[in-house]
Amino acid sequence: MVDYEIILVTGMSGAGKTTAMAVFENLGFYCIDNYPVSILDAFTEMLKQGKFDYLKIAMAVRLNDAMDAIRILSNLDFVNVTTVFLDCDNEKILKRYKQTRRSHPMMIARQASTLTEAIQLERRMFDKLKSQGDRIIDTTLLKAKGLQDVLESAFNEGDTQVFRVSFVSFGYKYGVPKDADLILDVRFLPNPFYVEELRHLTGNDKAVYDYVMEKPETKIFINKTIDYFTYLLKEYEKEGKMQVIIGIGCTGGQHRSVTLTNYFASYYSQFYQVYKWHRDADH
């Protein structure tokens, strides 16, 4: 029987499911939004009989349906299911709903009378279920492009057996990426922020890049870090790990971390399938 690949997308309402589904559609998945779990058995029977023409499916489900959907799909031997949980800070969700003036699903279902109550109710549900996720993505500090980069690095077209290395720059003042496997702190390097003509640029600009890269501290650091990364990535690959996310942080995520992320992404693209994104500099 033909195996189907199903990405189950769930999590906090307002955390980015709509954006995520648009990304999966661009990646060639057949997308089903808010499919009723009550009729999921009928859909899986259609798959079993080979009556569905698409092998790659992304399915968004509400958080209160997630456990049933995971149970049903995980018990099928002809389906490879990956569960993606999208998380987001409560205050950020509240702000997003106020900006869009949309109604929260918990309020529509009359399970909550206020937006704050709806978010808190869903948060309790999320905290109980998040251990069931294969991947948890915190979108609190991610723009739509950032979420796109994260999903594309994990679920892009091509050989799914290829070892992938993702580099993400960030600013410590905004928090550490929760999904990073390794964190590199580059705040000890000379800071272009204190150079007036560089302050409003980023590590994507040649002037900042050259300023950071020409420093003796940077050159020593890069040589030592490449030895460390090269050894570690080979060991991860031997152990069967399919993806490593490396966070590189400076104070504001604009200058030093962006420069080093660009450098390491370029260097390791010689050997691996590499992705990069700048969490706090891509605006």
Which DSSP letter does residue 134 get? S
Mean pLDDT of 45-74: 89
Q: Is-contact 228 241, C-beta < 8 A?
A: no
E strands present in 172-263: 182-185, 243-250
> What span, in angstroms and rounded, lies between the C-alpha atoms of 75 and 68?
11
Mean pLDDT of 7-18: 93
pTM over 0.75: no
End-to-end CA distance of the chain: 46
Mean pLDDT of 80-107: 90
Strands 164-171 and 182-185: unpaired
Q: How do residues 208-241 score in pLDDT, each as one tens digit?
A: 999 999 999 999 999 999 999 999 999 998 888 8
Tell me what pLDDT residue 239 has.
85
Which DSSP letter does residue 247 get? E
Tell me what pLDDT residue 282 has.
60
Q: How do residues 129-177 score in pLDDT, each as one tens digit?
A: 888 888 899 998 888 888 888 888 888 755 455 788 999 999 999 999 8
Say which amino acid occupies 246. Answer: I
On average, the pLDDT of the chain sits at 90
**CA 268 to centroid of chain Cα atoms:** 20
Please tell me the least confidently modeled range out of 95-104, 210-219, 247-256. Answer: 95-104
Tell me what pLDDT residue 70 has.
92
Sequence-ordered list of residues with C-beta below 8 angstroms from that of 205, at least 6 positions apart, any chain: none
